[in-house]
Structure 1
Amino acid sequence: MTPAETLHRIPSRPWRWVPWLAGSQLGVVLAWLLAGWPWGLALMLASHALFLVPVFRPNSRFYAPVLDRLPAAGKSVWLTIDDGPSAETPQVLDLLDRHQARATFFLVGDRALARPELVREIVRRGHGIGNHSHSHPQARFWRLGPVAMSEEIESAQRALASITGQPPRWYRSVVGMTNPFVAPVLRRLQLTRVGWSARGYDGVACEPQVVLARLLPGLKAGSIVLLHEGAAHGRNLEIIEGVLQALQQRGLQARLPD
């Protein structure tokens, strides 16, 4: 793997968006003065959209670098399982063992503190651990300010390190949302943001076959697969098994990237 292909993409310029913001607003002022308020207003709305849309695009690199595929993967894919640990974690681990598969569990800090024995069991069985925020504030994560965002990510990092003895190297935003204040924390903690290239929307109410129909077309060598555990619909185990069976049929292996 060449240096350009390194998996660990730590933000090197976390505030690189600031000059773009300043320039865009200067353009708005000039348009308002020189061309009139209709042009100024239109440009203002367009500039706001430019900075807001990337917040909700999981693989957008506007605010922070993101790993969304594995370079030079051979026959490997990266299974990532979000939102644990949960009451389903032991069954997920048994399922992965039966298929000789490895996965990275992106864990929520306060849930990990409530079930530390499950976190240690994940590691004991040879799987990876990632940071998925401390309280998983799904409805408001996108609008957290710098202090609250830092607390969410740093608290989860401390919790997971205290349980496993080693801080995670991987990070995934809640619902993939990444606002301007994520990158500085990732740089400080030396975390790499992980996105995905195959997703079936299994974190919400769903039918397993519908989820698999969405997910399987993206299941190929180098894919980063987004899965969940412990969802209220209770079908995550069926979905994970369907993915593992599809991997076997396609001659692919679920391996850890590091």
Structure 2
Amino acid sequence: MRRAARPVLVAALIAALAAPAHAAGCDKPVYLTLDTGHMGVAPLVAEVLNREQVKATFFLANEKTKTDGTSLDDQWAPWWKARAAEGHLFGSHTFDHVYWVADVKTGMKGGGFKVRPSAGPNAGKLLTWTAAEYCAELQRPADRFRAMTGQAMPHLFRAPGGKTSPALLAAAKACGWTHVPWSAAGFLGDELPSDRYPNAQLLQRALDHIRPGDVMLAHLGIWSRQDPWAPAVLEPLIQGLKQRGFCFATLRDHPAYRDAAQR
């Protein structure tokens, strides 16, 4: 009996050592989220995440890329499929990266919204949408994600720019979508001009101010930043937070989003 039990105990010990820190009861979780962008740094971001054994939550929109296409086109489909196979989590960022501008008081069921896409055929145009049209826009990245990966996308979304209203959030919730903002300290600054906010400054600010439970935000490439934030800051940030006792988890482990992440 003792001889037979020893291999089982050894196997259990190996499994426990290999498990992610948050699964072992880490009390300082943080949640890295990455929105789409020009995708120029996406391969390097994937390398860092794999090397550091960090799982992230990606929010997908079909944005213009440096490869003369869009972030959800056939060229990038294998990249997304690989990330899905690695166990990352995903959510909608609206297909055409559609900014909420204002609520519209009309007799439309569920209200209406002024919106402005920054991608797609209506980029830059001010449009008026019903709640149903906004819900349909949230679904488009989910449909494309399933086509690329064979997996379902959880009903999590992030509004571009984080711009929402109570009416917009209520409309999205009514069609099954839960919005995910970011923490104040979790704004990692990769959208800021690098001449005024150099990478070293952004890294130190994040290391100084991020606290347990924070949802962090960065992108897979920002057109306006001359000195790319990723991967230059990403790896030292991950390593620095780990050294401070933090562990990384996806939003499927976040108490506020756990249930929605299962849908």
Return the TM-score normalized by structure 1.
0.64
1:209 aligns to what SS in structure 2? helix
How far apart, CA to CA, are the structure 1 residues paired with 2:235 and 2:101? 30
Q: Aligned residue for 2:189?
A: 201
Q: Aligned residue for 1:163?
A: 148
Alignment of 1:1-258 (within 5 A): 74-84=27-37, 86-109=39-62, 111-114=71-74, 115-138=76-99, 143-144=114-115, 145-147=128-130, 149-164=134-149, 165-179=151-165, 180-188=167-175, 190-197=176-183, 198-206=186-194, 207-232=198-223, 233=225, 234-258=228-252
- 1:70-112 per-residue CA deviation (whole Å, 9 max, x = no partner) reads xx97221111011257232221111011111111111114622
Listed as ranges, the gaps of 5+ residues in structure 1 are: 1-71
1:169/1:137 CA distance change after superposition, 3 Å: closer
- 1:138-196 per-residue CA deviation (whole Å, 9 max, x = no partner) reads 5x6563243353343222222223323312232111010013334313431x2221111
Shift of 1:116: 1.2
* Aligned-partner residue type, residue 158 of structure 1: D
1:238 aligns to what SS in structure 2? coil
1:85/1:119 CA distance change after superposition, 3 Å: farther
How far apart, CA to CA, are the structure 2 residues paired with 1:135 and 1:219? 31
Aligned residues: 185
1:199 aligns to what SS in structure 2? coil
- 1:103-132 per-residue CA deviation (whole Å, 9 max, x = no partner) reads 111111462234211111111122111111
Counting aligned pairs with the same residue, the percent is 25
Q: Which structure carries more helix by proportion?
A: 1
Structure 1 outlier segments of 4+, above 4 Å: none
The alignment's C-alpha RMSD in Å is 2.4
2:233 aligns to what SS in structure 1? helix
Q: Aligned residue for 1:43?
A: none
Q: Which structure carries more strand by proportion?
A: 2
1:84/1:163 CA distance change after superposition, 3 Å: farther
Return the TM-score normalized by structure 2.
0.62
1:205/1:187 CA distance change after superposition, 3 Å: same
How far apart, CA to CA, are the structure 1 residues paired with 2:168 and 2:251? 27
Listed as ranges, the gaps of 5+ residues in structure 2 are: 1-24, 63-69, 103-113, 116-127, 253-263
